[in-house]
Amino acid sequence: MSEITTDNSRLDSLALDTMAAGEAAAGDGEIYSPKPEEDRIHVNADGIAVHEDGVPVGNKTSDYWFYLPKKQIAQDPLEQRDLSRMMVIDRHTGEVEHKIFRDIIDYLEPGETLVLNNTKVIPARLIGRKIDTGATVEVLLLKRKENDVWETLVKPGKKMRPGAKVSFGDGSLTAEVVDVVDDGDRLVKFHYDGVFEEVLDRLGEMPLPPYITHKLQDPNMYQTVYAKYDGSAAAPTAGLHFTQELLEKIKDKGVNLAYVTLHVGLGTFRPVKVDNVTEHHMHTEWYNVPQSVADLVNETHRNGKRVICVGTTSCRTVESAADENGILHAGADNTSIFIYPGYRFRIMDGLITNFHLPESTLIMLVSAFAGREHVLHAYDTAVKEGYRFFSFGDCCYFH
pLDDT tens, position by position, 329-378: 999 999 999 999 999 999 999 999 999 999 999 999 999 999 999 999 99
> Are 387 and 367 in a shared domain?
yes
Longest dimension (CA), the chain: 70
CB 287 within 8 A of CB 335: yes
| Domain identity same for 109 and 229 | yes
Is there a single domain that holds both residue 235 and residue 89? yes
Residue 249 CB neighbours (<10 A): 15
133-155 per-position pLDDT tens digit: 999 999 999 888 888 999 998 99
Model confidence, pTM: 0.87
Does 246 share its domain with 320? yes
* Residues 280/88, Cβ–Cβ less than 8 Å: no
The stretch 278-292 carries a mean pLDDT of: 93
Specify whether 295 is located in the same domain as 370.
yes
Residue at 313 is within a domain = yes
Mean pLDDT of 197-218: 88
Q: Say what the pLDDT of residue 268 is.
A: 63
Structural domain includes residue 209 = no
Which residues span the domain enclosing 27?
A: 3-64
Tell me: do 289 and 199 sit in the same domain: no
The phi, psi pair for 87, rounded to 5°, reads: -95, 125
Could you tell me which of 156, 71, 115 has the C-alpha nearest to residue 352? 115
In a domain, 143, yes or no: yes
| Residue 316 reports pLDDT greater than 90 | yes
249 and 154 inside one domain: no
85-122 tens-digit pLDDT? 999 999 999 999 999 999 999 999 999 999 999 999 99
Same domain, 160 and 192: yes
Contact criterion met (CB below 8 Å) for 354 and 315: no
pLDDT of residue 203: 95
CB-CB contact of 265 with 285 (8 Å): yes
Residue 76 in domain: yes
If one counts the domains in the chain, the total is 3
